């Protein structure tokens, strides 16, 4: 008996909120991607806890996929950030408003 399932979900929720906060508030492109990583991490925790709760390995499988996708997305995202930095010489997302 570890903990009630609700507690784990709450922890995951808090970490998710922190990830959103990081993605929305930090004026740096890299920090935005970092926030996304935090969110993905929080979701992984929730999935693994759910796998344990319902005795189903699907949760852990999904975490495996999350891992792979996170890796993919970070590599492409950082490549884009570097490219964008070369174009506009800034990391501030408010500089990237050409679509207005």
Residue ranges in 5-64 that form contacts with another protein under rule CB under 8 A: 5-11, 13-15, 17-28, 30-35, 37-38, 41, 44-45, 48-49, 51-53, 55, 57, 60-61, 63-64
CB 91 within 8 A of CB 36: no
- Applying CB under 8 A, does 88 fall inside the site for another protein? no
Mapped onto helix, strand or coil, the DSSP state of residue 27 is coil
Total residues belonging to the chain: 100
Q: How far is CA 92 from CA 27, 34, 35, 78, in A?
A: 6, 15, 15, 14
Provide the minimum distance between the beta carbon of 31 and another protein in the complex, in angstroms, as a whole number.
Answer: 7
**Nearest to 80, CA basis, from 9, 22, 32:** 32
Provide the minimum distance between the beta carbon of 29 and another protein in the complex, in angstroms, as a whole number.
Answer: 9
Q: Scanning the structure block, which residue is given the tokens 């970490």?
A: 15
Provide the minimum distance between the beta carbon of 8 and another protein in the complex, in angstroms, as a whole number.
Answer: 7
- Applying CB under 8 A, does 96 fall inside the site for another protein? yes
- Applying CB under 8 A, does 85 fall inside the site for another protein? yes
């Amino acid at each position: 008996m570890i903990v009630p399932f609700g507690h784990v979900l709450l922890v995951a929720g808090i970490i998710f909120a922190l990830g959103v906060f990081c993605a929305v508030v930090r004026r740096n492109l890299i920090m935005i991607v970092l926030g996304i990583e935090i969110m993905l991490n929080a979701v992984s925790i929730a999935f693994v806890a759910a796998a344990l709760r319902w005795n189903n390995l699907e949760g852990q499988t999904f975490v495996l996929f999350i891992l792979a996708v996170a890796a993919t997305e970070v590599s492409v995202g950082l490549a884009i950030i570097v490219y964008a930095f070369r174009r506009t010489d800034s990391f501030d997302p408010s500089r990237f408003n050409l679509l207005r």
